[in-house]
């Protein structure tokens, strides 16, 4: 029965949602494009980290209005890049016809049994196309409407016979300029059958070179070290929706001379329940309070970072280099 309900829900979604309707909903917002990113000074880059509240929207217009509200607040405070947390696209599942019944069916499954993985992979097979179109359409459209680069967070998507947790980065024209599959998975994701990413990539943007990682990745030093070796100025490390992981981003920022942007989260559901603030962090010596914190808190945390000063800060105990290793193993993917 679960398989039949998923197929029926996917068919209903194909009738209700498409790119034309997404574009029309964004157009009705009458957004005035921002000029924040027209001139970027590396010594005063302003970044907005969204603290996303998970809400159960059943109307496309309400979902888009919530995402647009974050963009509006960030733009009003001068942000030149807006970043959303991990699995920001998962909220779109509530737009599916019969979503509440599907949730009840999935909650009844045993997370330690194979039936959870079977149900998740079936869901991705049924709804993967819907999530792709909605996630890309909404965040690409908002980036274009606001004329601002957007690190859109992530969503689950099928890819060559596997399912990945994929982040995306859009420029101010709405073009996709970067994507990164999550490297370090949560226990629940492994049980669901999600596959990990296999490499770190760094992408050029109007505000600097950006890597797309997660708070879970921050528990290991290698992804951030590799991002720095590949030339990253900023790393997006969004909140983990599967539980509050120990926050190691402060150490990753200091040891690698990076600006780390941490979009936050507020989620209260039968499957997930916790919250994390949005923040921006940098090496100790590059912050006003010498504590590594640029800004923290609020629905959208907007702060200014001096990327040149951050890159120049040198800690002899945590910033040693190995040029031969970098040349051999850290070439930028093409």
User: How do residues 205-215 score in pLDDT, each as one tens digit?
Assistant: 999 999 999 98
Domain-located, residue 334: no
In a domain, 36, yes or no: no
Residue 38 lies in a domain: no
Answer whether residue 124 shows pLDDT above 50: yes
In this predicted structure, the answer to whether residue 166 has a pLDDT above a threshold of 80 is yes
- In the chain, the percentage of residues whose pLDDT exceeds 70 is 89
Least confident span in 283-287, 292-296, 320-324: 320-324
Indicate if the pLDDT at residue 197 is higher than 60.
yes
Of 42, 129, 111, residue with least CA distance to 120: 111
What average pLDDT score do residues 71-97 get?
94
Helix axes 19-27 and 114-146, enclosed angle (nearest 10): 40
Most confident of 87-96, 166-175, 233-242, 262-271: 166-175
| pLDDT beyond 80 at 40 | yes
Of 215 and 332, the structure prediction assigns the larger pLDDT to 215
Q: Using pLDDT thresholds of 50, 70 and 90, give the confidence band for residue 325.
A: low
- pLDDT value for 107: 66
Contact 84, 263 (CB under 8 A): yes
Confirm whether 109 is domain-assigned: yes
Nearest residue to 203 (alpha-carbon basis) of 150, 272, 131, 138:
150
Least Cα distance to 41 among 307, 257, 261 occurs for 307
Domain assignment present for residue 234? The answer is yes
* Predicted confidence (pLDDT) at residue 241 exceeds the cutoff of 80: no
pLDDT of residue 117: 85
CATH of residue 107: 3.60.110.10
pTM of the predicted protein model: 0.90
Rounded to 5°, the CA angle 79-81-86 comes to: 120
Position 88 in a domain? yes
* Full domain range(s) for residue 194: 2-30+45-312+324-329
Number of domains in the chain: 1
CA gap 199, 205 in Å, rounded: 19
What's the average model confidence in pLDDT over 62-88? Answer: 97
Q: Which residue has the higher pLDDT, 317 or 130?
A: 130
Q: Is the pLDDT of residue 98 over 90?
A: no
- Residue 318 reports pLDDT greater than 60: no
Q: Mean pLDDT across the chain, nearest whole number? A: 88
Instruction: Tell me what the mean pLDDT of segment 292-302 comes to.
Output: 95
Q: What is the DSSP letter of 271?
A: S
> pLDDT at residue 271 above 90?
no
Distant-in-sequence contacts of 28-36, Cβ < 8 A, 24+ apart: 28/61, 29/64, 29/65, 29/68, 29/145, 31/68, 31/72, 31/142, 31/145, 31/146, 33/145, 33/146, 33/147, 34/75, 34/146, 34/147, 34/148, 35/147, 36/75, 36/78, 36/79, 36/80, 36/148
Task: Read off the pLDDT band of 334 (50, 70, 90).
Answer: very low
257-292 burial string, b = 16+ CB within 10 Å, else e? Answer: bbbbbbbbbbbeeeebeeebbbbbbbbbebbeeeeb
Average of pLDDT values for 191-196?
Answer: 93
User: Residue 176 belongs to what H/E stretch?
Assistant: strand 176-181
Per-residue confidence (pLDDT) for residue 320, from 0 to 100: 55
What 8-state DSSP symbol labels residue 238?
A: E
Q: Residue 9 — pLDDT band, cuts 50, 70, 90?
A: confident
Asked, for residue 319, whether it belongs to a domain, the answer is: no
- Tell whether 121 is covered by a domain: yes
Least confident of 7-11, 152-156, 262-266, 322-326: 322-326
Residue 3 pLDDT greater than 60, yes or no: yes
Which residues is 301 bridged to in the sheet?
49
Quick: pLDDT tens for 65-74. Answer: 999 999 999 9
């Amino acid at each position: 029965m679960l398989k039949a309900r998923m197929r029926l829900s996917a068919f209903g979604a194909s009738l209700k949602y498409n790119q034309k309707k997404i574009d029309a909903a964004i157009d009705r917002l009458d957004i005035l494009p921002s000029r924040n990113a027209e001139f970027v000074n590396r010594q005063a880059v302003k970044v907005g980290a969204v603290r996303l509240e998970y809400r159960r929207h059943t109307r496309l217009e309400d979902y888009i209005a919530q995402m647009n509200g974050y963009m509006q607040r960030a733009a009003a405070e001068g942000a030149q890049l807006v970043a959303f947390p991990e699995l920001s696209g998962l909220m779109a599942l509530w737009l599916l016809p019969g979503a509440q019944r599907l949730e009840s069916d999935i909650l009844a499954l045993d997370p330690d049994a194979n039936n959870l993985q079977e149900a998740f992979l079936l869901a991705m097979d049924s709804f993967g196309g819907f999530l792709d179109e909605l996630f890309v359409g909404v965040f690409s459209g908002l980036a274009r409407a606001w004329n601002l680069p957007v690190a859109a967070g992530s969503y689950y998507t099928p890819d060559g016979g596997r399912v990945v947790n994929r982040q995306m980065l859009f420029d101010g024209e709405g073009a996709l300029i970067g994507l990164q599959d999550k490297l370090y998975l949560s226990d629940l994701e492994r049980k669901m059958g999600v596959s990990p990413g296999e490499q770190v990539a760094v992408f050029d943007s109007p505000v600097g070179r950006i890597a797309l990682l997660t708070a879970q990745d921050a528990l290991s030093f290698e992804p951030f070290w590799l991002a720095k070796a590949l030339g990253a100025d900023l790393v997006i490390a969004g909140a983990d929706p599967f539980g509050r992981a120990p926050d190691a981003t402060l150490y990753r920022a200091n040891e690698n001379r990076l600006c780390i942007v941490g979009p936050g989260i507020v989620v209260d559901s039968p499957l997930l329940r916790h919250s994390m603030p949005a923040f921006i962090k940098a090496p100790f010596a590059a912050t006003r309070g010498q504590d590594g914190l640029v800004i923290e808190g609020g629905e959208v945390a907007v702060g200014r970072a001096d990327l040149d000063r951050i890159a120049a800060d040198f800690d002899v105990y945590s910033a040693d280099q190995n040029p031969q290793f970098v040349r051999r193993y850290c070439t930028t993917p093409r």
